[in-house]
Amino acid sequence: MKRLSIILLLLVAAAGSRAQTLGEEYRLRRVIPVEGRQGIAADSAYYYVSGSTVLYKYDKQGRLVACNDRPFEGLPLAANHIGDIDVWNGEIYAGIETFEDGRGEHIQVAVYDAETLLWKRSIAWEPASGQVEVCGLAVDRDGGMVWMADWVDGRYVYGYDLATGKYVRKVHLRPVPQWQQGIFMVDGRMLISADDGDADLDEPDNLHIADLRDGKSYAAVLPWRMMTDFRRAGEIEGLAIDPATDELLVLSNRGSRIVLGMVRGFYPGYDRELHELYVYERVK
Ligand SMILES: [Ca+2]
Ligand SMILES: [Ca+2]
């Protein structure tokens, strides 16, 4: 029995250090209610969820184990908004900005300790890149990069060197997904969640995929998965792949009416917005 536990522990440790892989088909396994409405990341033992102004840490049963409700304290630039996040090597990467009147300023990649959720350092934004907003980011574990996506002008994604924090290049997405929210890098390919379904008309949101492996200045964006299995059409947010299980994780909000990125009342049957983590098992 003791030997079995040790083997299991070793397996979990090994899973935490390997890169995620991408499947072709995923089936909904469970839905976990969470507090945050923006982003999701996972390491071998925990889920990390971002609200617009809070960082949360959950165990994989969905129990809240930690939270930082003052994530902007000590940051080099003023901030009021966290988008989709990622976690790598014991650090949470968060795309942060001041979001006002439909546009972002003071963009930064803030890096937090995944153990304590406390801020450690920030990677500075290169304004000359043309990026005007950060809705989400992804660590490219294989390519040693951090990529940022832009909700206001979604034509490009912007890559920074993971080791030095220096801006490296941008990639032209063709065609441009509508209202992108979260990104995640796996095997040199980028998964992109798009809030392109109109919840008023019960239209599902979508996931897209773009292959960045050839290093070119452009990438073809292909439809990857239509999210018809959400409990109600709403606002899709961040996404990730669990390194321990290869499960696809997608955060989505429902119940509130969103107009130009702002909550404007609720749909019938709702008196608040619900935030849910959809966990999909890989079928093949
Ligand atoms: Ca968002
Ligand atoms: Ca939507």
- Per-residue pLDDT tens over the stretch 65-109: 999 999 999 999 999 999 999 999 999 999 999 998 878 899 999
Q: Look up residue 154 and give its two tokens.
A: 């979604």
The yes-or-no verdict on residue 180 having pLDDT over 50 is yes
CA dist 94 and 81 (Å) reads 10
Residue 3's pLDDT is 62
Kindly identify the ligand whose nearest atom is closest to the C-alpha of 137. 1
Using a CB cutoff of 5 Å, list residues around ligand 2, an ion. 195, 197, 199, 205
Q: Residue 61 is inside which H or E element, if any?
A: none
Kindly identify the ligand whose nearest atom is closest to the C-alpha of 151. 1
Task: Calculate ∠ Cα 247-250-251, nearest 5°.
Answer: 145
CA of 69 to the centre of ligand 1 (A): 18
CA of 261 to the centre of ligand 2 (A): 11
Q: Is 20 or 199 the better-scoring residue by pLDDT?
A: 199
CA of 6 to the centre of ligand 2 (A): 44
Residue 16's pLDDT is 45
CATH architecture of 51-234: 7 Propeller (2.130)
CA of 195 to the centre of ligand 2 (A): 4
Contact 259, 104 (CB under 8 A): no
CA of 84 to the centre of ligand 1 (A): 6
What's the mean per-residue pLDDT of the chain? Answer: 93
Q: Enter the DSSP assignment of 150.
A: -
| φ, ψ at 281 (rounded to 5°) | -85, 150
Kindly identify the ligand whose nearest atom is closest to the C-alpha of 149. 1
The yes-or-no verdict on residue 253 having pLDDT over 90 is yes
Task: Calculate the CA 2 to chain-centre distance.
Answer: 37
Kindly identify the ligand whose nearest atom is closest to the C-alpha of 36. 1
CA of 125 to the centre of ligand 2 (A): 28
The yes-or-no verdict on residue 185 having pLDDT over 50 is yes
CA of 237 to the centre of ligand 1 (A): 5
CA of 233 to the centre of ligand 2 (A): 6
CA dist 77 and 218 (Å) reads 31
Coil, strand, or helix at residue 210?
strand
Q: pLDDT tens, 121-171?
A: 999 999 999 999 999 999 999 999 999 999 999 999 999 999 999 999 999
Look up the pTM and report it.
Answer: 0.92
Task: Calculate the CA 107 to chain-centre distance.
Answer: 16
Residue 260's pLDDT is 76
- Please, which pLDDT band fits residue 11 given cuts at 50, 70 and 90? low
Residue 70's pLDDT is 98
CA of 72 to the centre of ligand 2 (A): 28
Residue 222's pLDDT is 98
Over residues 189-217, mean pLDDT: 97
Q: Is 111 or 263 the better-scoring residue by pLDDT?
A: 111
Residue 261's pLDDT is 74
CA dist 34 and 62 (Å) reads 8
**Domain ranges across the chain:** 51-234
Q: Look up residue 225 and give its two tokens.
A: 């998965």
Q: pLDDT tens, 204-229?
A: 999 999 999 999 999 999 999 999 99
Contact 59, 44 (CB under 8 A): no
- Please, which pLDDT band fits residue 7 given cuts at 50, 70 and 90? low
